[in-house]
Amino acid sequence: MSIFSEIFSWWGGNTWGTRLFTLRKGKLVGEDAFGNRYYIQNKGVGPLGVPARWVIYRDLSEPSQVPPDWHGWLHHTVDTLPTDESYQPKPWQKSHQMNLTGTPGAYRPQGSILGSGARAKSTSDYKPWKPN
């Protein structure tokens, strides 16, 4: 994220306040394949009675960019950092992909408003309601 957008926008996620807070109170613990950086609170405990954990997104502040292993760590489901684990994904598992809704890569079935082709014919079991 550019310095210009950090100064003039709050919706990008990483503002000057976030940067200062992270410099003062955060310790970098890892980075994922997307370039997101993960931090843990240096001293003390957060509101849940454990050190707070947070993420600084590389680009857009979009929570669906967080892979499942880091999501579990962020939400205190697991305490082991994903970088410390030796997990090997199964051959049938797909790699993580962020939510594509509202982007050109979103799923558009055949016959939808933004999709191509014609909608499949409906079956005869549908009868529209008609007022008397």
pLDDT (tens digit, 9 = 90+) per residue, 31-67? Answer: 998 899 999 998 888 777 889 999 998 877 778 889 8
CB distance 36 to 70 below 8 Å? yes
Main-chain phi, psi angles of 56, to 5 degrees: -110, 115
Its pTM surpasses 0.85 = no
Q: pLDDT digit string (tens) for 79-100?
A: 889 888 887 888 898 888 888 8
> Can you give the pLDDT at residue 46?
79
33: Cβ contacts below 8 Å, ≥ 6 apart:
67
Q: What is the largest CA-CA distance in the chain?
A: 71
Task: Say yes or no to pLDDT of 1 above 80.
Answer: no
Sheet of 53-56, strand order? 26-31, 37-41, 53-56
Beta strands 37-41 and 26-31, pairing class:
antiparallel
